[in-house]
Amino acid sequence: PQRYNPAEIEPRWQAVWDADPSLYAAEPHDSGKPKYYCLSMLPYPSGKLHIGHVRNYAIGDVLARFMRMRGYNVLHPMGWDAFGLPAENAALKNNTPPAEWTLANIAAMKTQFHRLGLSFDWSKEVTTCLPDYYRWNQWFFLKMFEKGLAYRKKSKVNWCPECQTVLANEQVIAGCCWRHETTIVEQRDLTQWFFRITQYADELLDGLDTMDGWPDKVRTMQRNWIGRSEGTFVDFKVEGTGEIITVFTTRVDTIFGATSVQLAPEHALTTAFAKEDATLAGQVEALLDEQKAAKAAGDLGAIEKKGCATNRFAINPFNGERVPIWVGNYILADYGTGAIMSVPAHDERDFEFATKYGLDIRRVVAPNVDEPAEALTLPYTGEEEAVLIDSGEWSGEPSLEAQEKMAKHAEANGFGKKTTTYRLKDWGVSRQRYWGTPIPMVYCAANCSGEETPIPLRPEDLPVLLPAQVTITQQGGSPLGRVPEFVNTTCPRCGGPAKRETDTMDTFVDSSWYFYRYIDPKNDQAPFDSAKAAYWFPIDQYIGGVEHAILHLIYSRYWTKVMRDLGLIENAEPATRLFTQGMVIKDGAKMSKSKGNVVSPDVMIDKFGVDATRMYALFAAPPDRDLDWQEDGVAGVSRFLSRVYRLTTKFAPIAKRAGTEEAQSIEGQKLLRKLHQTIAKMTLDFSGRWHFNTSIAAIMELVNEIVTAEPAMDAEIIPPSAVAEVFRNLTLMLAPFAPFIAAELWAELGNTGVVFRHPWPEADAELAKESEIEIPVQINGKLVNVITVPAGSDEETIKAAALADPKVISRIEGKTVVKIIYVPGKLLNLVVK
């Protein structure tokens, strides 16, 4: 008998497949076939695939292969998220140009992908660091500038001293840089480019409600990130000066309980007050430091609330009352208006603060008007059932209604209005880096615009190429600013000398729309053809890590809406379904070089082959859970494949002799029953949850049944036609998971053609039907025996069979059966006295 030898089988088949470049190619958008766009997130070309990649890409690959077998026109592309900091770091370390380093890594990883037998359509490859891609980033930038969606403003920005660049809010994690987990992010004042994502805040939020193909946890994270909050602006006047402090509150109904106004340490009035009062200035500085430290620690909510009085007062416009103005370290400058009215009786934070500093605490809402308010435990934060008390003409109003009415009142009297605030901020896209997309703007100091006003390039000026000759140093500022040939250019308006913008774009720009480029990667007239997009979009299944839940997945949704409004596409969301896979861990811990627990895909493949490695990655845990990598487990899957190989090669000669009119035996029926049950189960597993671990377990069970039937197949009690049917379908079902062994066995069984171009098998419901079913019998709730009855037996037959069972007879002897409860198909319980 032949031995299963993946080291021989796998390269041989890969060579066969390589000879057919159309093997995995999507058919054109006008092919008339139903489409399926299966997208796995593209990797950063770090140089080496890790075992986590193997798992992620195996999930998409199985799905793409299955959908092809189901007759869909499948698009399963791959590309490279190729701009970014690591290339610059490598350039610093090894003195290799970022482009060279990146392209060499891409070549190395492509070889690894190839070895893994992933069914990517490489004719659609996209590499984001090449000009034929990034010129379209620049094109979009110009469109967005035209629409007022790209703008420049001076602002406080997050600055990573290690990266020497600005970070988006989304790239600040627990106060530190997302790439430098221990480097505290600083705030700097810089003029930066922004994308107006806030213009789409409502749509981004409301869209989430309709996206039921996305995991709830991802939708919740995006909701919180957008952080829409309905409230009211109310203007308090500073006593004496008449200056206005606008506060943002979600609870205007509690305004009669406001006993102070609190300003953020960075509020403009705080700064103004501090200028005239040195003591105050010192106190404010201390408060600001505390706030920064808490931000860096990542939990501003946990800050020990502190503040200082300004010795000034503000007037509550609702009742004319005079309340002290304080500065609080828990008030953020960049949320709402940076100022609040403090209502200690009904807000946790204000309560803590007022208790500490002895400020008044005044109850103005209560769950019930009849109960004495003094009995209420504070702070009382309820609003659904609450009613206003001690609130002048508003007393007696339910809280929620009062919020509406009081906001209207403020608006009518010119001291406030209803408003909506968002936690979401505009997307800062400027980076002081070299290895990114140049921003297509110039400054014409001499004639047109002055130093500060950007002039957009014309579409025909694109692409603005990244200069190849650049020295990467640790020095701050944009590296492009040190390349005179890049900086000095001519003005598109007056033709005079001008200077180029030297910031590059955040690399999240690249990944916001790369999946649209896949459908038309060689188009040099437009980012893509809209007719193609109309066919392929939205993506049917997007697969990637949950770590992208906010950053990448909000930006891509935003980009989709912008493109829709530019008239390029019709879909409002990029992907109908999102699947977030779990991580691969080792011995319960995340793999890392420092822990020395990294599993190399190459080592696994050398030992066990691609098929066993892929299949183990899918079998060892549900794909959305973390997987603890066990080499023993891979060995186990490899033994399973050896068994399949042995059985198939052994029975192939019999299968090949299959006739058409063979008499069926009980043994043959039993084996075919298991086969069709397996087909049905696997087909169901492919209908949306992608729990491939249970699919593979089902194939394993089928193979166990084949082993049981081996003697009957040897003796040809099971006819050759049944043998042929079983092995042929087993091979087809293995094909998405273990394509190499499937191809080998498909040929071994005498078939020609490519196994994974063959249609997926159909389950025959008649053949799958059980001839007998098992019913557990209980007496007074205790299991006594399991009886076997013909499938489809009615209740009377089953009761009779139970009462005729010897074990049951002996237990009920001398007693009376008072009741028989039958749960159809599940259970029979005799109540006996």
Applying CB under 5 A, the residues found at the interface with Zn ion are: 160, 162-163, 177, 179-180, 444, 447-448, 491, 493-494
- Residue 241: name the closest of 276, 265, 266 by CA: 276
Is the CB of residue 75 less than 8 Å from the CB of residue 31?
Answer: no
Question: If you search the block for the tokens 């995991």, which residue do you land on?
Answer: 215
74 binds, options Zn ion, ligand ANZ, none, Cβ within 5 to 8 A by partner type:
none
Shortest Å distance, C-beta 450 to Zn ion: 10
- d(CA 135, CA 129) in angstroms, rounded, equals 10
Cβ nearer to ligand ANZ, comparing 257 with 538: 257
Q: CA 133 from chain center: how many Å?
A: 24
Q: Which residue has the tokens 């919740």?
A: 220
User: Across 283-412, where does the E strand assignment appear?
Assistant: 307-315, 322-328, 339-342, 365-366, 387-388
Can residue 155 be called a binding residue for ligand ANZ (CB under 6 A)? no
Residue 338 binding target from ligand ANZ, Zn ion, none, CB below 5 to 8 Å by type: ligand ANZ
DSSP assignments along 735-747, one per residue: TTT-HHHHHHHHH
- Residue 359 CB, shortest distance to ligand ANZ, in Å, is 14
Residue 250 touching ligand ANZ (CB under 6 A): yes
From candidates 112, 199, 229, 694, binder to ligand ANZ by CB under 6 A: 229
Using CB under 6 A as the binding rule, whether residue 338 contacts ligand ANZ is answered as yes
User: Which of residues 89 and 523 has its CB atom nearest to Zn ion in the complex?
Assistant: 89
Which element (helix H / strand E) includes 823?
Answer: strand 817-823
Q: What is the SS3 assignment for 508-536?
A: HHHHHHHHHHCCCCCCCCCCCCHHHHHHH
| Chosen residue from 233, 248, 579, 760 binding ligand ANZ by CB under 6 A | 248
Element (H, E) at 716: none
Per CB under 6 A, 199 contacts ligand ANZ:
no
Distance from C-alpha of 655 to C-alpha of 724, rounded to nearest angstrom: 4
The three state secondary structure string of 656-709 is HCCCCCCCCCHHHHHHHHHHHHHHHHHHHHCCCCCCHHHHHHHHHHHHHHHHHC
Q: Which does 249 bind (CB under 5 to 8 A by kind): Zn ion, ligand ANZ, none?
A: ligand ANZ
Residue 250 binds: one of ligand ANZ, Zn ion, none (C-beta under 5 to 8 A by kind): ligand ANZ
Q: Residue 802: which of Zn ion, ligand ANZ, none does it interact with, CB under 5 to 8 A by kind?
A: none
Q: Least distance (Å) from Zn ion to the CB of residue 303?
A: 24
Is residue 599 part of the contact set for ligand ANZ (CB under 6 A)?
no
* Residue 340, beta-bridge partner list: 262
Residue 305 interacts with, from Zn ion, ligand ANZ, none (CB under 5-8 Å by kind): none
DSSP secondary structure of 436-465? SPBP-EEE-TTTTS-SSS-EEPPGGG---P
Amino acid at 83: F
Q: Cα–Cα distance between 370 and 385 in angstroms, integer?
A: 13
Quote the DSSP letter at residue 384. S
Toward ligand ANZ, which CB reaches closer, 334 or 772?
Answer: 334
Considering only residues 138, 249, 613, 829, which one is a binding residue for ligand ANZ as defined by CB under 6 A? 249
Considering the rule CB under 6 A, would residue 336 count as an interface residue with ligand ANZ? yes
Structure tokens at 647: 């059985």
Q: Decide which of Zn ion, ligand ANZ, none touches 343; Cβ closer than 5 to 8 Å per partner kind.
A: ligand ANZ
CB of 177 to Zn ion, least distance (A): 3
Question: Exposure string (b/e) for 199-210, b if CB count within 10 Å is 16 or more?
Answer: bbbeebbebbee
Which CB sits closer to ligand ANZ, 362 or 408? Answer: 362
Which of 83, 45, 46 is closest to 433 using CA atoms?
83
Count each helix (H run) and each strand (E run) in the chain, helices first.
26, 34
Counting contacts by CB under 6 A, is residue 332 touching ligand ANZ?
yes
Distance CA 587, CA 627 (A): 10
Radius of gyration for the alpha carbons in the chain, expressed in angstroms and rounded: 34
* SS3 assignment, position 136: helix
CB of 341 to ligand ANZ, least distance (A): 5
Q: Is residue 313 a contact residue for ligand ANZ (CB under 6 A)?
A: no
State in angstroms the smallest separation of the CB of 101 from ligand ANZ. Answer: 44
Q: How far is the CB of 299 from ligand ANZ (least distance, A)?
A: 14
807 is in an annotated binding site: no
CB of 739: closest distance to Zn ion in angstroms? 41
Could you say which of Zn ion, ligand ANZ, none residue 248 binds, taking C-beta under 5 to 8 angstroms by partner kind?
A: ligand ANZ
Binding part of the chain for ligand ANZ, among 330-338, 470-478, 503-511, 813-821 by CB under 6 A, reads 330-338
Nearer to ligand ANZ, 159 or 248 (CB): 248
422 binds, among Zn ion, ligand ANZ, none (CB under 5 to 8 A by kind): none
Which of the choices ligand ANZ, Zn ion, none does residue 180 contact, using the CB cut-off of 5 to 8 A by kind? Zn ion
Among 144, 9, 99, residue whose Cα is nearest residue 527: 144
Number of residues that bind ligand ANZ (CB under 6 A): 18
Contact residue for ligand ANZ among 81, 170, 347, 520 (CB under 6 A) = 347
Q: Does 340 bind ligand ANZ (CB under 6 A)?
A: yes
Rounded to a whole number of angstroms, the minimum distance from the CB of residue 489 to Zn ion is 11
Alpha carbons 76 and 123: distance in angstroms, whole number: 10
Q: Which residues pair with 388 in a beta bridge?
A: 365
The distance of closest approach from Cβ of residue 445 to Zn ion in the complex, given in angstroms and rounded to an integer, is 9
Do residues 145 and 137 touch, judged by C-beta distance below 8 A? no
Identify the CA nearest to 553 among candidates 538, 535, 574.
574
Stretch that binds ligand ANZ, among 250-258, 578-586, 651-659, 695-703 (CB under 6 A): 250-258
> Please, what is the minimum distance in Å from the beta carbon of residue 246 to ligand ANZ?
11
Which of 158, 648 has the CB closer to ligand ANZ? 158
Give the count of beta carbons closer than 10 Å to the beta carbon of residue 288.
17
- We find the least distance from the C-beta atom of residue 270 to ligand ANZ, in angstroms, to be 12
- Residue 130 binding ligand ANZ, by CB under 6 A: no
Instruction: Quote the least distance from Cβ 175 to Zn ion, whole Å.
Output: 12
Contact partner, 777, from Zn ion, ligand ANZ, none, Cβ < 5-8 Å per class:
none
* Residues forming a β-bridge with 821: 829
Q: Which does 177 bind (CB under 5 to 8 A by kind): Zn ion, ligand ANZ, none?
A: Zn ion
> What is the spatial distance between Cα 640 and Cα 635, in angstroms, rounded to a whole number?
9
Using CB under 6 A as the binding rule, whether residue 316 contacts ligand ANZ is answered as no
Q: Does the footprint of ligand ANZ cover residue 556 (CB under 6 A)?
A: no
The binder of 296, among Zn ion, ligand ANZ, none, by C-beta within 5 to 8 A per type, is none
Residues 6+ apart with CB under 8 A from 267: 327, 331, 333, 338, 339
Q: Is 67 in the site for ligand ANZ (CB under 6 A)?
A: no
Binder of ligand ANZ out of 53, 124, 346, 433 (CB under 6 A): 346
**Residue 549 within binding range of ligand ANZ, rule CB under 6 A:** no
Q: 160 vs 798, which CB is nearer to Zn ion?
A: 160
- Cα separations in angstroms, 698 against 48, 618, 740: 33, 13, 20
The token pair that represents 327 in the structure block: 């500065």
Q: Is 331 in the site for ligand ANZ (CB under 6 A)?
A: yes
As a whole number of angstroms, the distance between CA 591 and CA 603 comes to: 15
For the chain, give the number of residues.
Answer: 833
Rounded CA-CA distance 323/733 in Å is 75
One residue of 139, 335, 357, 822 binding ligand ANZ per CB under 6 A: 335
* Cβ at position 142, least distance to Zn ion in Å: 17
Kindly report whether the peptide bond that precedes residue 379 is cis, defined as omega within 30 degrees of 0: yes
Which of Zn ion, ligand ANZ, none has residue 336 at its interface (CB below 5 to 8 Å by kind)? Answer: ligand ANZ
- Residues of this chain that interact with ligand ANZ (CB under 6 A) are 229, 248-251, 254, 264, 330-332, 335-336, 338, 340-341, 343, 346-347
Annotated binding site: 593
Annotated binding site for ATP: 593
